[in-house]
A and B are shown apart, each in its own frame.
Chain A
Amino acid sequence: MQTQGVAGKRPADIYFFATCVVDQFFPGAGLDAITLLEREGIRVHFPVAQTCCGQPAYTSGFPDQARAVAAHQLTLFPENWPLVVPSGSCAGMIKHHYPRLFADDPQRRAQAEALSLRVYEFTDFLVNVLGYAAQDQGAECTVVLHTSCSARREMGVHLSSRQLLDGMKGVTVAMQDHESECCGFGGTFSLKQPEISAAMVADKLESLKATGAERVLSADCGCLMNILGHAAWKDAQDGQTSATLPGEHIASFLLRRTEQGAAK
């Protein structure tokens, strides 16, 4: 877990790396994360030339292609500001895999290593750099939290989301069985081994639903894409007209619950 800001103090400026999934599929989550950070008095910089961290190619066995894409991102964050990423998985890629990806390229490796030191997963940044605690304004509600494998095992920041939620007075966090188990997304794994992936996401949804929680939260949109996509499919199969387990990025939940006159 990271406990220090870049210079050991609250930064005035940060970079925001949205990830391609948030940019295209969950733009609201990105906007909410930025709004929340700005409300904390931070200037958020979003270099528009950003695209994708390169992880899809990297984990699929195409490191050259990942390197080409990663090399482009490396040029976008020149100032010594924290780089905040609303995804443990993409943050992990930049933090842990960029330095390895450029192992044979001294100049880029140095850049990657320097960048690695200032990469933060969004909830980790809120809790451990800003010391943020949500002033919950919403009505009583029960949620269930899914933590991505990268946030848990690669970034070691899985406790941040829970800490944020535990500090909210109207929010009860339900515990699902097999909490630490993967949802079955795994990027191209879901396409290459669809039957196994399907079995995993079905079990995950069942565990989440069994808690009776009203909604599922996660700090990773990759997992949400998988879990919510399956949940909506299942609802359609079951003839449900509204979502039996809606879900969203934790940033959206935090922002909504801390606004005046907040609803659930």
Chain B
Amino acid sequence: MSEHTMQFMPGAGFRARARAAVDNPALRRSFRAAMDFLIAKRSAQFDDPLELETLRTLGEQIRQYNLGKLPELLEQLEARLTGNGIQVHWAETPDEANAIILGICKAHSAKLMVKGKSMVSEEIELNHACAAAGIEAMESDMGEYIVQLAGEKPSHIIMPAIHKTKEEIAHLFHDKVDGVAYTDNVDELIQIGRRVLREKFLVADIGLSGVNFAVAETGTLCLVENEGNGRLSTTAPPVHIAITGIEKVVEKLAHVPPLLSLLTRSATGQNISTYFNMISGARRPGEKDGPHEVHLVLLDNGRTQAYADEQLRTTLQCIRCGACMNHCPVYTRIGGHAYGTTYPGPIGKIVSPHLLGLEATATLTTASSLCGACGEVCPVKIPIPDLLMRLRSEAFSAPHDDPRLRGQGAARSRLMSGVWQIWARIYRSPTLYGITSWLASRFNCLTPSRQGPWTAVRTPLKPAPKRLRDLLKEKA
């Protein structure tokens, strides 16, 4: 296993990373402030609870309708895209996706790729694959650019560099970008980034982007962004490669506006994003701009596993707005890197098991108090807490020869099974419960004063000397 694959073992070391994060007051303060800001922005967009609920229900229905006919829609999408002159490629695994993209690069003897923001490209670790093939892959989204300069990964799916202070970015630019004097003026920093990136757009061989919605009836790729880098990445270089997960397809163009509205309002509290690109083909004869070639790579990477199960399929409704992260008390405390997965936060906890298997992700499913804040804000009503409970039970279930879920039973232990078996025996029997609870009350002076992690920051739990049932008996 290579060093860089090791980073993708989120289960191992999650607690250590989480501990380091909560022990970092500066990080906690900045995440709290950033999340509060995003929560307030979203909340200002949805001041009418009825309108929000109506729109969420519509969003959920649109996503479920389209997932319901996914195989058919993917065929239709491929046919329409091909008709529009867009070449469609299918990838089952990240390796296949990388091979396809590198193949296209090779066919064009590409040396430089500029990238609009794409979480799926993070999922397949395209930048590493490009580097190994001698191709420079340059992030052009400001947040992604910062994260790339720092040699890190995004800590949030919408705001990749949300964990960085402006001072850190100032030092980073000063250290890593040629001829830049130190400045922590945000406008100046952005201008520096733009200047560097602008030159790259003009000389890049390949532009790579993600896709927010792929419309089957028209063969259109929709791309939501705020910086214009998405438009430049998809129009300036001679070849555009788009990559997305197979779940992103919608049947009708009319399905896009409600989803777009939910997306931008939930994500950044914007009525609409600054740019909304609709890509329906390569440059046509007589046109003065646009790429000569457009490709779409459709990635599975565990999505069909989720698709096969009625309940788990709801994870595929996600439109990647990040609102669940912004509202998550766990994410707010530990930030995105602690998760060790491409997709952090609540959505990451329910998506990652399909991408990486439960062996690597069972621990993540325990990192939730099931408070329900994520499910409450999800614009397409994914029942995230229910899915977490389902995944927890899958992690503890008996391993199957032909598991529905990769890594089913990975967290199974005799100890845990035994503990809950005993617990059930006591609590399903009034007699046993009566005896054990009486003993615990009667001899509460024997309650241990150290109760594992509980007493690290709390006083010990001590049963009352008389149970409610005893008090009621006395009262009668």
Contacts and interface: CB of A to CB of B under 8 A. Distances in A.
Interface string A227-246: 00110111010000000000
Interface in B364-410: 365-373, 375-376, 389, 391-396
Contacts of B437: 20, 23-24
B176 interface: no
Contacts of B4: none
A18 B468 contact: yes
A195 B392 contact: no
A219 interface: no
A186 B428 CA distance: 22
A153 B454 contact: no
Contacts of A164: none
- Main SS class of interface, B: helix
Contacts of A226: 458
Contact of A52 (B334, B389, B420, B427): B427
Given A31-B472, A60-B392, A201 B457 contact: yes
B464 A26 contact: yes
Interface stretch (A68-76, A104-112, A126-134): A68-76
B49 interface: no
A230 B458 contact: yes
Nearest to B472: A46
Interface in A31-90: 31, 34, 46, 48-52, 54, 56-66, 68-69, 71-72
B275 to A, nearest CB: 34
B428 A69 contact: yes
Nearest to B440: A24
Interface residues of A, number: 70
B456 A51 contact: no
Interface stretch (B14-22, B77-85, B134-142, B240-248): B14-22
A69 B368 CA distance: 23
A213 interface: no
A177 to B, nearest CB: 9
Interface residues of B, number: 63
B357 interface: no
B313 interface: no
Contacts of B285: none
A35 to B, nearest CB: 8
Interface in A158-189: 180-182, 184-189
Contacts of A247: none
A258 to B, nearest CB: 18
B424 interface: yes
A47 to B, nearest CB: 9
A226 B28 CA distance: 21
B195 interface: no
A240 B428 CA distance: 42
Interface of A: 18, 20, 22-28, 30-31, 34, 46, 48-52, 54, 56-66, 68-69, 71-72, 149-150, 152-154, 180-182, 184-203, 225-226, 229-230, 232-234, 236
Given A20-B427, A61-B394, A203-B333, 19 more contacts: A26-B464, A27-B467, A28-B471, A46-B468, A61-B395, A62-B396, A69-B424, A72-B428, A72-B430, A150-B372, A189-B367, A189-B368, A190-B453, A193-B18, A193-B367, A194-B454, A196-B18, A202-B457, A233-B455
28 contacts: A24-B463, A24-B464, A25-B464, A27-B467, A28-B464, A30-B471, A52-B433, A57-B424, A63-B393, A65-B420, A69-B427, A149-B372, A182-B329, A182-B369, A182-B373, A186-B370, A187-B369, A192-B366, A193-B15, A193-B367, A194-B456, A195-B18, A195-B19, A196-B330, A196-B333, A197-B369, A233-B455, A233-B458
